[in-house]
């Protein structure tokens, strides 16, 4: 596959430089490290800071959620690789306004290790931290092992809610509790149609035959639980939605937020086909969609495919999701 790149080893640093040049009013670097980005007005004195991070290759995740009403800083690694603990620490110091810092990121081994190490180092710097780990991928582990699930596109809901809680002046403990509540009530599942190509190797991350799809695939190409013939948009939406509703225990009379997410190479038109059927299914079941998002919110370079996320709503969660937010890749008026 052809790619628009220069030297493969410079891919991450060069695209981050492009982001900074395009959005100097919203983002800046911390400690002169391009891989540590913070909101332009950081630190905000008296406000809980929120730091996220993970591997590159998932725009707008994670870099796209740094801004007002979202995260305050991000540390990024190479494509699909964790940032270092030192980079996480630099982001922590850069956003610390005296009220503590919440670490909010996806459940992957390297990220967990390095964020935990950064928390220990932050403690030595006198900065209190707490951690909330996104784990919304229902295909990666059964319900009884939900603590071990991967974090995927549904973490966007946690960014929105925790960011809003921090913006209104909640304490570190309160912001962490908001994030955990959203995480506990979010479920995601995706399908893959074609692999992503890693810039440094030029090779696909997995193999998938013509006319096949992988159900339950992860955002790094991790295998799902079913591989078979490509199904219609309606059948895909039904397959994913039914699994998510069952996992969350959602039924008639409940309210939800829905995210239909593209994985990087799926036309927006196809995402709206999926949302159309999701909306029909929920209406048939007496479930109300109070909030919806359709587009690319957590990608995997040029992987073709999509995921559906559902968040069970109550009045408090909806108010937080609806709160104002702004970043280079996200705006909630």
Rounded to 5 degrees, what are φ and ψ at 59? Answer: -45, 135
Report which of 103, 130, 151, 167 is spatially closest to residue 321, judged by C-alpha positions.
167
Give me the residues paired with residue 30 across strands.
33
Q: For the chain, state the CA radius of gyration.
A: 19
Helix (H, G, I), strand (E, B) or coil at 64: helix
19-50 b/e (C-beta count within 10 Å ≥ 16 → b)? bbeebeebbbbbeebbbbbbbeebbbeebbbb
d(CA 35, CA 99) in angstroms, rounded, equals: 24
**Annotation says 279 is catalytic:** no
Residue tagged active-site, from 23, 58, 226, 279: 58
β-pairing, 255-262 with 304-313?
antiparallel
**Annotation says 226 is catalytic:** no
Task: Measure Cα distances from 161 to 10, 37, 135, 199, 301 in Å.
Answer: 34, 21, 16, 34, 26
The one-character DSSP state at 63 is G
Report which of 62, 64, 92 is spatially closest to residue 76, judged by C-alpha positions.
62
Kindly state the tokens that stand for 223: 């295998």
d(CA 249, CA 140) in angstroms, rounded, equals: 18
Looking up tokens 């995706």 gives 190
- Residue positions annotated with a catalytic role: 58, 220
């Amino acid at each position: 596959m052809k790619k628009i790149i220069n030297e493969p080893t410079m891919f991450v640093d060069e695209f981050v430089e492009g982001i900074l040049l395009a959005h100097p009013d919203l983002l800046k670097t911390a400690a002169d490290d391009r891989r540590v980005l913070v909101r332009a007005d950081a630190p905000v004195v008296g406000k809980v800071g929120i730091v996220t991070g993970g591997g590159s290759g998932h725009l707008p995740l994670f870099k796209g959620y740094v801004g007002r009403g979202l995260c305050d800083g991000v540390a990024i690694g190479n494509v699909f690789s964790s940032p270092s603990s030192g980079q996480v620490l630099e982001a922590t110091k850069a956003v610390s306004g005296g009220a503590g810092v919440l670490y909010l990121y996806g459940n992957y081994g390297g990220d967990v290790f390095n964020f935990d190490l950064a928390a220990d180092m932050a403690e030595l710097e006198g900065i209190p931290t707490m951690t909330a780990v996104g784990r919304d991928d229902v295909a990666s582990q059964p319900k009884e092992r939900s603590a071990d699930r991967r974090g995927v596109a549904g973490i966007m809901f946690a960014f929105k809610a925790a960011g809003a809680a921090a913006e209104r002046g909640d304490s570190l403990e309160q912001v962490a509790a908001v994030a955990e509540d959203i995480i506990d009530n979010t479920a995601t599942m995706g399908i893959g149609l074609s692999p992503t190509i890693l810039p440094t190797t030029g090779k696909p991350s997995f193999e998938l035959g013509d006319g096949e799809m992988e159900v339950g695939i992860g955002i790094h190409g991790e295998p799902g639980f079913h591989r078979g013939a490509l199904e219609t948009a309606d059948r895909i939406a039904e397959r994913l939605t039914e699994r998510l509703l069952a996992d969350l225990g959602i039924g008639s009379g409940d309210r939800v937020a829905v995210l239909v997410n593209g994985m990087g190479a799926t036309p927006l038109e196809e995402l709206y086909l999926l949302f159309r059927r999701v909306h029909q299914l929920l209406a048939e079941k007496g479930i109300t969609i109070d909030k919806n998002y359709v587009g690319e919110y957590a990608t995997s370079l040029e992987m073709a495919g999509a995921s559906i996320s559902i968040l069970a709503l109550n009045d408090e969660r909806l108010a937080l999701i609806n709160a104002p937010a702004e970043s280079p890749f996200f705006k909630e008026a």
